């Protein structure tokens, strides 16, 4: 699936639609260069999952874990990691337990990453336009 948005709100709405298909235990990777809208996408998805806290970029920590209406939502950002070490995976694991997980900069996670439920990629287009592609990798028979 591929589509274009022309505002952050539209990107959030696309994310909200995907979020409805997600359950705790699902991983969504969110790729794309700086400023392409990864965190904006995660914010829209988290809102749709009932997170009322402000969803901000994890900067001084590797991730945030929020309470949603039907389970927790984790947001991990591996921007500062060239490659995640085994010790660092120890820090990451709690974010994966019983939560829908959104992962920015998944490239750094390497082989340890569980198979994502969906892989999202954002690309800059002119001005506020962004191209969003969503690959549903593990389609859930419940849907
Ligand atoms: P990233 O996490 O990829 O670095 P952010 O979501 O933090 O990106 O920032 C994206 C920036 O681009 C925000 O300032 C947002 O308001 C702006 N923006 C403009 N148009 C869009 C759009 N169509 N989709 C998402 N963000 C957009
Ligand atoms: Mg970000």
Output the DSSP codes for 69-103. Answer: TTEEEEEEE-TT-SS--HHHHHHHHHHHTTEEEEE
Domain count, the chain: 1
- Residue 141 inside a domain? The answer is no
Share above pLDDT 90 across residues of the chain, in percent, rounded to a whole number = 79
Query: Rounded CA gap, 115 and 79, in Å?
Result: 20
Q: Which residue has the tokens 């750094």?
A: 108
- Residue 53 inside a domain? The answer is yes
Q: Is the confidence at residue 141, as pLDDT, over 60?
A: no
Domain of 60, CATH number, reads 3.40.50.300
Rounded average pLDDT over 42-59: 96
- Residue 108 inside a domain? The answer is yes
Per DSSP bridges, beta strands 2-5 and 130-136 are: antiparallel
Q: Is the confidence at residue 39, as pLDDT, over 60?
A: yes
pLDDT value for 137: 74
The DSSP symbol for 138 reads S
pLDDT value for 132: 98
pLDDT value for 138: 63
- 11 burial (CB, 10 Å; 0-12 / 13-18 / 19+) is buried
Q: Is the confidence at residue 31, as pLDDT, over 60?
A: yes
Does the C-beta of 42 come closer than 6 Å to ligand 1? no
- Residue 99 inside a domain? The answer is yes
Strand order across the 27-31 sheet: 2-5, 130-136, 118-124, 27-31, 99-104, 71-77, 63-68
Domain of 34 in residue numbering reads as 2-136
Return the number of other C-beta atoms located less than 10 Å from residue 98's C-beta.
Answer: 10
Ligand 1 centroid from CA 37, angstroms: 3
Nearest CA to ligand 1 atom 24: 8
Q: Is the confidence at residue 99, as pLDDT, over 90?
A: yes
- Residue 142 inside a domain? The answer is no
pLDDT value for 44: 98
Query: Rounded CA gap, 110 and 85, in Å?
Result: 10
Comparing CA positions, the residue from 95, 137, 104 lying closest to residue 119 is: 137
pLDDT value for 140: 54
pLDDT value for 142: 53
- Residue 73 inside a domain? The answer is yes
pLDDT value for 112: 80
Q: Token digits for 129?
A: 């336009």
- Residue 44 inside a domain? The answer is yes
- Mutation test of ligand 1: which of 29, 33, 37 has the most ligand atoms closer than 8 Å to its C-beta? 37
- 13 burial (CB, 10 Å; 0-12 / 13-18 / 19+) is middle
Q: Is the pTM of this model over 0.85?
A: yes
Q: What is the pLDDT of residues 6-24, one digit of tens each?
A: 999 999 999 999 999 999 9
- Residue 143 inside a domain? The answer is no
């Amino acid at each position: 699936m591929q589509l274009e948005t022309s505002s952050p709100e539209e990107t959030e709405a696309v994310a909200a639609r995907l979020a409805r298909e997600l359950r705790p235990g699902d991983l969504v990777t969110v790729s794309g260069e700086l400023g392409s809208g990864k965190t904006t996408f995660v914010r829209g998805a988290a809102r749709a999952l009932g997170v009322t806290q402000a969803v901000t970029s994890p900067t001084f920590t590797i991730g945030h874990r929020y309470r949603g209406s039907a389970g927790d939502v984790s947001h991990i950002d591996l921007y500062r990691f060239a490659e995640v070490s085994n010790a660092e995976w120890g820090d990451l694991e709690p974010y994966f337990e019983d939560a829908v997980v959104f992962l920015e900069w998944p490239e750094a996670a390497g082989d340890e990453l569980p198979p994502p439920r969906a892989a999202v990629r954002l690309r800059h287009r002119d001005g506020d336009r962004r191209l969003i592609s969503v690959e549903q990798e593990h389609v859930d028979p419940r849907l």
